[in-house]
Structure formats: structure tokens, C-alpha cells
Structure 1
Amino acid sequence: MEPLAAPRPAADEEPGRGADEAVFRPIRGGNAFEETVERLLQALRLGVVAPGGRLPPGRELAPRLGVSRATLREAVATLQSAGYLESRRGRYGGTFVVAAPPAGARPRPARSRPAADLEDVLQFRLVLEAGAAEAAAARPLTRADRGHLTGLLAGCTGAGPADYRRLDSRLHLAVAEVAGSPSLTTAVADVRTRVNELLDAIPLLPPNIEHSDRQHAAVVTAILAGDPAGARSGMAEHLAGTAALLRGFLT
């Protein structure tokens, strides 16, 4: 994605520096891949990089975002596969915004959900599921509880795209189940149904699956170790990665 050289656009064609710096600012969360995808989509959506325009080269953009070149390449490759970006070779090559993404590249609208409704779902999910992880870690677990969690974690880890969201949903429900509150389990099931409707409207990204697998393991490990603070923070970080992708694709 590194161009050898390229002519600079005329001054009146360059995006405003304020918007450029606001979008391509350092990422500070623990979900570098997901947040990089969100930032790139934000840059496209806001016109910071216009249709047909070129992204800054990776050697410049990665330090600005505060991510590794490998993470940036993964995010760019994901958006290339989804039809938002394209790579061009040659003297004036680089990574360019597709002028008119094919219809299949556009996420299906989740029942025309407004941004405020999306934020409501994400906030409600954060409160419920981070609390469920904390409660599960604070509760003495039976052998059956432990086996339930570890078995579902094993089934979800490394699952293929066809089964991943179903197994992911089941693992998240298991965390609520071992917290010992049927009402909490019901609430998590309800919010997960709403979240899955949103997830069905965006691409399933292999790097995100790999990242989620690691985060799932960290959350379950904290629960089994009786570490409420670790379980809560681990779940919150995990949910933040999903939220970043949903905001990136759907708002």
C-alpha cells in the first residue's frame, strides 16, 4: 500500500486539517483492529478522504493512529474485501477509496435503526454484560458451572464463520447463567437478540473473530479465578471492540 510518489492535490482539494487530525488521531483502546476499521470508515463517511481519493501511506497513517503497520494492513485488507477500498500499483499507486462501492459492499440497514437507538442498545449491553461477568466472577462456581463455561468457550474458539455468531451468543449467555440470576440471563438474551440483528448487517471479519477469541478466554479465565474486576474490565473491552465495528459500519 506504499506509493513511491504521487502528485499533491491542489490546496482547495485537500481536506481540512482539523477533520483529518480528528479522525486520524491515536487509538487508545484495547481493540486496535476494530477501532482502526471504525476510523477508516469514519474517514470515508465524513469525506475526509473523498471517493476516488487516496489514504495516507501506511508508514504515515499507522503512527498517527498509534497502531502497528500489521494492524493497519489487516484493517485496510478487510475494507478492500468489503468493497470500500482498492489497491493500485505503479508510480501513483496506493490505497484508494472506491468511488461507488458495489451494492454487496454496503451493509444492509438494520431496520433503518437511528444512531440514537444504536447507542441505546450498545450502552444497555455494556451495563448488562459487564455486570454479568463481574457477578459471575464474584459467585462461588460449582463444577458444573465451570464445565459449562469452559465447554462453551472451547466450542466458540476457532469456530468457522457459519457457526461463530451462534456459538458466540451462547457463550455470552453462559456468563449470565453462571452469575446465578435468571432475570439477568433473560435480559442478556433479549439484548443479545437486538445486538445480533445489528451484527447481521455488517461483515464477519476474521481478524475480529481471532481477537474476540482471545478476549473471551481472558474473560472466562477471570471468572474462573474469582476476579470480578478483571472479568468486568475484560468484558467491557471486548464489547467495546464490537461497538466500534457497529458504529463504523452502521452510523
Structure 2
Amino acid sequence: MSEAFEQRTRADELRDRLLTAVLIGEYLPGSRLPSERELAESLDVARETMRQALRMVTEAGLLEVRRGRGGGYFVTAARIDERSAAAQLLHRRLAEIEDAIDAGSRIQGAICEAAAERRTADDVRILEARLADFVAAASGREKQAADSRLHLAISDAAHIPALADAMLFLDRRVSLSAPQHPWGAIEDQAAMEERATRDHTELVRLIVAGEIAAAGAVARRHAMIDRDLIEQARKRAEATAVDLRGR
């Protein structure tokens, strides 16, 4: 197999990862992607291969390049689910994603159990502040960022770095933007954010109260939000594919 063919094949795989990231709301419209160099390093690929993948997604109309200071690749308002290939893409990656989410939910449960057992007074103060930030954050990108900060604070409160490392490894199998989580389509966000607020509030309460088993159970349930968002995206893409075939 030639080096050029291998590079194209890897670029196609990276294109699929980027398209999936847009589909499931890892990067919402208007979001700036990490730099080409950062993406290449985090995914352990050559910069030229990463550049090819980014070019393909840009040519599909889902990213735009802004020049100058503060520039880079930004997600457009275009909808990937207008293309029937979206359904095939999500179907292809579904088993891999679901496996990572299932494993991640178990590790997240262990992290929250450890946090409920080991949290300090400083941890409690930070967790309550991060929860308040999440509740107050505006819907969409601001709430997504606040969610990441809260989950990182929970990992810190567990005081077991190896668990945090394992969680990040699994998150990266699902999300290019890990530790940032998928946030779903715009039309799904209000219900998802309400659900996340309930889970976060209960989870912080249980960790602060030292209720170890209950904190783990809520954390495992909460991790399934990612799976549900991806399933919603898959169904929407499949419905669009049916509509396109019927035209």
C-alpha cells in the first residue's frame, strides 16, 4: 500500500471524526476548533493528514476558515444531516461510540464514588461554585464549557489521577473536544440541559453529603446523556436520508 493511499485513508477517518463531532454537537455553530497542530498532536497524526481532513470538511461547507489574529477553523450553521451520508456515518461509528460511553459511565461512577469518599472542604467549595456557574450559564456553548469545568472539578475531588486519565482516554474515543462533551442539536438542547441540571444538582449534593453508592449510581445514569444525544442525531440523520431518497 502506497504512502499516499495510506495518508488518504487516514484523512478519510479523520474527516469522519470531524463530521461526527459536528453531528453530535461537540462543536456548536460558531465554535472554534483547536488548531491544526493541536488536533494533529491529540490524535497522533501528521499535520498534513489533519490538514487534508479539515480541508474536506471545509469543502463540505461545515467549517469556515477565518484569517488573522483569533482566526482558525470555525463551525458554520450548515447542517450535516442534510446529506444522506450522515446516517451511514453515524451507523458506522455507533458500536464504537456506545462501547466507549458504556465503559466511560462505569469509570465516571467510580470517580464520583471516590469524590464522595475523599472530597475536602476546598473541593466542596469548588464543586458548589462550579454547579452555580453551570446553572447560571447561557444555553449552548457557555453551558457546555461550564459542564466541562464541573466534571473536571469532580475528577479533582476524587484525588485519583489514574481514574481521571482513564476517563479522558475514553472521552477522546467519543469526542474530539474531550473533556468537553457532546451537546446535541440546537432543537434538543433545552430538554438535555434541564436533564443535566437535575443530574448535576443531585450529584454534587450526594458527593458533598458523602453518599458514596448513590453518587456512583447517579453518575453512571448521567453519563448516558451522551448516548441519548448520539441516538437522537442518528435518528434525525436517518429520517433526512429517507426524505432525500423520496425526492
Normalised by the size of structure 2, how large is the TM-score? 0.53
CA distance in 2, matches of 1:104, 1:231: 37
Match of 1:182 among 155, 161, 175: 161
Larger radius of gyration between Structure 1 and Structure 2: 1
Match of 1:159 in 2: 137
| 2:182 paired with 1:203 | no
Question: 1:87-126, aligned counterparts within 5 Å?
Answer: 104=79, 106=81, 114-126=93-105
**Identity over the aligned pairs, expressed in percent?**
28
Q: Which has the higher helix share?
A: 2
| 2:120 paired with 1:142 | yes
Assess, with a 3 A threshold, how the Cα gap between structure 1 residues 133 and 239 changes in structure 2: closer, same or farther.
same
Shift of 1:122: 0.8
CA distance in 1, matches of 2:192, 2:161: 30
The RMSD of aligned alpha carbons is: 2.9
Match of 2:227 in 1: 243
Shift of 1:233: 1.2
SS in 1 for 2:185: coil
Normalised by the size of structure 1, how large is the TM-score? 0.52
Shift of 1:188: 2.3
SS in 1 for 2:79: helix
Shift of 1:225: 0.3
Question: 1:80-91, aligned counterparts within 5 Å?
Answer: none
Question: 1:50-61, aligned counterparts within 5 Å?
Answer: none
Amino acid at match of 1:144: D
Match of 2:206 in 1: 222
Alignment size in residue pairs: 149
Stretch deviating more after TM superposition (237-246 or 199-208):
199-208
Q: Is the 8 A contact 2:182 2:229 kept in 1?
A: no
SS in 2 for 1:129: helix
Consecutive aligned runs of 4 or more in structure 1 exceeding 6 Å deviation: none
Shift of 1:200: 4.8
Assess, with a 3 A threshold, how the Cα gap between structure 1 residues 202 and 185 changes in structure 2: closer, same or farther.
same
SS in 1 for 2:114: helix
Q: Is the 8 A contact 1:136 1:178 kept in 2?
A: yes
